[in-house]
Amino acid sequence: MSWTNRGTPASAQVLECSGEAHAVVIDDMPMYRHGITRLLGEIAGIGRVEPLEAEALAARNPRLPAPALLVFGMPSDLAEGWNQLRLASLALRPRRLLLISDNMWLRLPPGLDARFARTLCRAASLATIERDVRALLDLPLAAPARPGPDAVPAGPAGFRRPFHAFA
């Protein structure tokens, strides 16, 4: 796998003419693919997010521009997953890779450094996924959300109930 434009600054590689990045999400779990697609769609600086199944790669129009980011969910069969990732990288020619896996010990192949590719466990928090996507695409960190005028104060930390107690 070779990621192109290694000498070009990441911001120049990632941002297309419109000023926003294009991302592709490939995962064999539909709910996870949908969730990552929604998360990426809410990040400022990412203009279009395209969810794909690995089997749909052959049917994708080859004239479409190369995505700035490929988020690839590694299937449980690692041999098949590495083969699918190789085919996806050839078909899509992504500039950056975020590899998501159930296997928290999974490492990237030698030669891919953290400026171009990262790996995360599938159980990573939304904040961790967003942080790594922003780092890969050289997007600014999200500003902390300010509570609105109608926001309810959280109260002391010792008094908070677990999330299932609200149901």
Q: From start to end of the chain, where are the E strands?
A: 21-26, 46-52, 69-73, 97-101, 117-121
Ordered structural domains, the chain, with CATH: 10-141 (3.40.50.2300)
Task: State pTM to two decimals.
Answer: 0.72
Query: How do residues 94-141 score in pLDDT, each as one tens digit?
Result: 999 999 998 777 777 777 766 788 889 988 999 999 999 999 998 887
Is pLDDT at 153 greater than 60 in this prediction?
Answer: no
Do residues 95 and 13 touch, judged by C-beta distance below 8 A?
A: yes
Average pLDDT over the chain, rounded to whole?
Answer: 77
